[in-house]
Chain A
């Protein structure tokens, strides 16, 4: 059983469209990160959220942490081919030692077609 469930698993859209990726859990997280990973490379950190209800924006990307700190979403506005990649959510479980392991979701593979 995955502690972090991401949906959808695969998403193929046209350039200029908007999209939202979801990351859900029945567990509470102290913090949650979003990463983007390209084939054959390691994940690259996009954002960290720690406060329930927190919203962070990074250019065309908007990240939200749920009020109960059990879920998060990533919204991309006007997607571009350069946004193509595997989007991973990961978090530190509440109750685990701070700064220890990250628990990852399975990822959402996004393809933006020109």
Chain B
């Protein structure tokens, strides 16, 4: 299977602990996105990368959140000092962006990491 993969699929942690999630995009994709989804809501954008460069961060992303994509392949999302309000599904998506691609912005999502903060 060459789709987007995310690990772990589920994470339960205690408030105040740090957690790290990993995303492996589709291999030829140069853009990688992180979203967060809470129950009954659509996904909310957090941040995205083109290759190893982080191009945009949402104002929703507090200082406790950090994301990296050091070699332009996989990415990690770390949450420090977790809070109960961080409980959500964290989704990663990837796309192949080129100027020739025009207005298409087709992002392909992984299965997500479900975080529960107790």
Contacts and interface: CB of A to CB of B under 8 A. Distances in A.
A102 B105 contact: yes
B95 A104 contact: no
B48 A41 contact: no
Interface in B80-117: 91, 93, 95, 97, 99, 101-112, 114
Contacts of B106: 33, 45, 48
B68 to A, nearest CB: 19
B105 A98 contact: yes
A43 B56 contact: no
B110 A42 contact: yes
Listed residue (B40, B48, B103, B109) with the most chain A CB atoms within 10 angstroms of its CB? B103
Contact of A106 (B40, B97, B99, B101): B40
Nearest to B97: A99
Contact of B111 (A35, A41, A45): A41
The range of chain A's interface size is 20 to 34
Interface string A77-90: 00000000000101
A66 interface: no
25 contacts: A30-B103, A30-B105, A42-B4, A42-B6, A42-B91, A42-B93, A42-B109, A43-B43, A45-B108, A48-B104, A88-B43, A92-B103, A99-B101, A100-B48, A101-B48, A101-B56, A101-B58, A102-B107, A104-B35, A104-B42, A104-B44, A106-B41, A106-B42, A107-B40, A107-B42
